[in-house]
């Protein structure tokens, strides 16, 4: 059983951390979590486009935690001696930053997608460009604690999981590992909130574009597809193929994945639920129940809600998972990874309890 979250006053010698790319949504969520974390002390919060501007001007909800503190400009030297750095940068930027700060800090947790895939040949196909430092790919640990915890404990380099990928992996891995479903022709039908697209406005994420609209996007080409396949295969040993279709919905936060698979043997809903329950029995952030998961239930928390069904009529296994894309899908998971890397009790500074209404 994991230790309960610490609620005491900060230690006299907290871990000194920084955020490179603190002005985006994941950076703002990291700032919020660090402000309430008893063992992390923020020393650096860069936001080059916002450098010199008070954090609270961009994010007023952080005013009580940071007062008049401003975003910093980034230089590699600014990270010298820090215990851990979070990188919350757009894709492609971490590849140029991390080689310059590695060795200056003890641990790095990258929230971007630059180091999630082990095979460099996948980057041109799914991301459109060659990887600039492929020699580092195998040195990064994939940051999904419930799947790869032993590798994350004390790890120097961690590639935090994509929010969409994490949701699908959480739903499918227990069923694959239990031998209940085939690894081929997995279908992931996913709904995601607008904050997953980041803070900078885009034509398809403005209020007028999103309000009262649901649309599928990145048909057959979404970059989380190989990430899902890689993690499922690495965890379960099963060769997998995934058809992944995300849908943008008018939500601030939240991801809901409904996953479909072919049974590998005769099984029932009770078998599928037992597989989820057994797999996550000791996990503090996983909620398995017959209730159909909802994004609202996970809001503001590091929790994942899951359920499963077996449809005997069509011969289909259904697994459903939901999470908050900025918490368990990004910054909350990053803090969970940081806790593991630093040797802090894993749940410290995090909650499995959501906000409602």
Q: Which fold has domain 164-325?
A: Dihydrodipicolinate Reductase; domain 2 (3.30.360)
| Selected residue with higher pLDDT from 6 and 37 | 37
Among 23-27, 204-208, 214-218, whose mean pLDDT is lowest?
A: 204-208
Does 105 have pLDDT greater than 90? yes
3-state secondary structure at position 183: coil
- Cβ(347)–Cβ(5) below 8 Å: yes
pLDDT in tens, 24-51: 999 999 999 999 999 999 999 999 889 9
Q: Does domain 15-161+328-342 have CATH number 3.40.50.720?
A: yes
- For residue 146, give both structure tokens: 């419930």
Look up the pTM and report it: 0.94
pLDDT score at 202 = 81
Q: What percent of the chain has pLDDT over 90?
A: 90
pLDDT score at 13 = 80
pLDDT in tens, 141-196: 999 999 999 999 999 999 999 999 999 999 999 999 999 999 999 999 999 999 88
Mean pLDDT of 285-292: 98
Q: Could you list the active site residues? A: 163
> Residue ranges per domain, the chain?
15-161+328-342, 164-325
Alpha-carbon distance of 311 to 290, in angstroms, equals 15
Q: What is the DSSP letter of 352?
A: S
Q: What angle do CA 232, 236, 242 make, to 5 degrees?
A: 30
3-state secondary structure at position 109: strand
Please provide the average confidence, as pLDDT, over all residues in the chain.
94
Task: Give start and end residues of each alpha helix (H) in the chain.
Answer: 25-35, 55-58, 63-66, 94-101, 122-127, 145-152, 163-177, 207-210, 225-236, 269-279, 295-298, 332-342
Positive or negative, the Cα torsion across 166, 210, 89, 87?
negative
Contacts of residue 316, Cβ cutoff 8 Å, sequence gap at least 6: 260, 261, 262, 263, 310
């Amino acid at each position: 059983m994991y230790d309960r979250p610490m609620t005491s006053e900060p230690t006299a010698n907290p871990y000194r951390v920084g955020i490179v790319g603190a002005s985006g949504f994941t950076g703002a969520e990291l700032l919020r979590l660090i402000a309430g974390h008893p063992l992390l002390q923020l020393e650096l919060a860069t936001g080059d486009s916002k450098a010199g501007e008070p954090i609270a001007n961009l994010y007023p909800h952080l005013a009580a935690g940071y007062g008049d503190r401003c975003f910093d400009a980034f230089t590699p030297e600014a990270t010298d001696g820090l215990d851990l750095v979070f990188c919350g940068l757009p894709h492609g930027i971490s590849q140029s930053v991390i080689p310059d700060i590695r060795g200056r800090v003890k641990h790095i947790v990258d929230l971007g997608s630059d180091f999630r895939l082990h095979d460099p040949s996948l980057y041109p196909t799914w991301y459109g460009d060659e990887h600039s430092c492929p020699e580092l790919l195998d040195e990064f640990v994939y940051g999904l604690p419930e799947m790869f915890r032993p590798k994350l404990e004390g790890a120097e380099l961690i590639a935090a999981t994509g929010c969409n990928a994490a949701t699908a992996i959480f739903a499918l891995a227990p069923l694959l590992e239990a031998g209940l479903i085939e690894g081929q022709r997995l279908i992931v039908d996913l709904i995601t909130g607008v904050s997953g697209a980041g803070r900078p406005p885009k034509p398809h994420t403005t209020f007028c574009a999103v309000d009262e609209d649901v649309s599928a996007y990145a048909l057959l080409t979404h970059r989380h597809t190989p990430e899902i396949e890689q993690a499922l295969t690495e965890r379960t040993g099963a060769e997998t193929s995934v058809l992944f279709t995300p849908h943008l919905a008018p939500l601030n936060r939240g991801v809901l994945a409904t996953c479909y698979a072919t049974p590998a043997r005769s099984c029932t809903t009770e078998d599928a639920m037992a597989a989820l329950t057994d797999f996550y029995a000791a996990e503090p952030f996983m909620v398995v129940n017959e209730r159909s998961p909802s994004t609202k239930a996970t809001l503001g928390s590091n929790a994942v809600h899951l359920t499963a069904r077996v449809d005997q009529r069509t011969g289909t296994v259904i697994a459903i998972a939901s999470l908050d894309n900025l918490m368990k899908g990004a910054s909350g998971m990053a803090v969970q990874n940081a806790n593991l890397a630093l040797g802090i009790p894993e749940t410290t500074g995090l909650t499995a309890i959501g906000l409602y209404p």
